[in-house]
Amino acid sequence: MAILRDLQARLSGRVRSSVSLRKHTTWRVGGPAEILVEPTGIEDLRLVLQYARERGIPLTVVGNGSNLLISDQGLNGIVVKLGSEMSRIEIGEGFIEVEAGAKLANILAAAREAGCGGLEFMAGIPASVGGAVAMNAGANGSSIGDRVLEATVVDLDGKIHLRSHDELGFGYRTCALQDTPAIVVSVKFGCFPKSAAAIRAEVEQYLARRKQTQPLEYPSAGSVFRNPPGGAAGRLIELAGAKGMRIGDAEVSRKHANFIVNLGAAKSRDIRQLMLQVQKLVNEHTGIWLEPEVKLLGKHEAIE
């Protein structure tokens, strides 16, 4: 394959073809990537973006895959995974700067060891920082955007831009990057002095609560639907009687109704069909149409 050979010759990172994306999402579903690129740094990323743009090749960027439902048919073109090769963490006076592939758990561990407080709310969020910033992920009463000072992004032409907190336009599970084609490559978080013991105690409290209230024993994508104004999606799903509904190995969690879990061999189609059934059921009971919080990628079959 010409594209595969071209990219292998140009990039220092790993370039492979026909790679299953199941292991690259927390739901453990999804078909193959036509080409999977794992860049080693910003220059690799710029090169692959320019290559795809110049040739009109479809391009998708993923991180830890914690908020994605990838179709069973997979993804055409080039899939760029920002992972361990772009996960450096630097701690300074009043800030932590991290690359997009760094997992939030690793950032929090580094902050704890350095006595940098303010990021404890991240405990248990199964995301890498690039995706977490793009969707303004949150938990425990706070959101990622609350602590972001600035972010470095690359546009689809491969040009680098520095975006301030205000320019990123954070809102509930959203930010300006969702409307502007640009990819987060690094983020600077603000922090403040706090003892490692105090950080550890707060993190353990958050993790214990998460274990009690969420189905962590099964693969999932976290909350499937956005909370509608003035309500909680999980509560609406439970009141509509959807808790425990199942299609194939996809099930509406019996522990937390806004989670759809993979009991072992679920397909993307099973999850998509279950999502639609939940939406219809909640709408019938409340008149509210729940909007997905997860992002659907690839060609999903039409479901009635």
What amino acid positions are annotated as catalytic residues?
173, 223, 293
84 touches 47 (CB < 8 A):
no
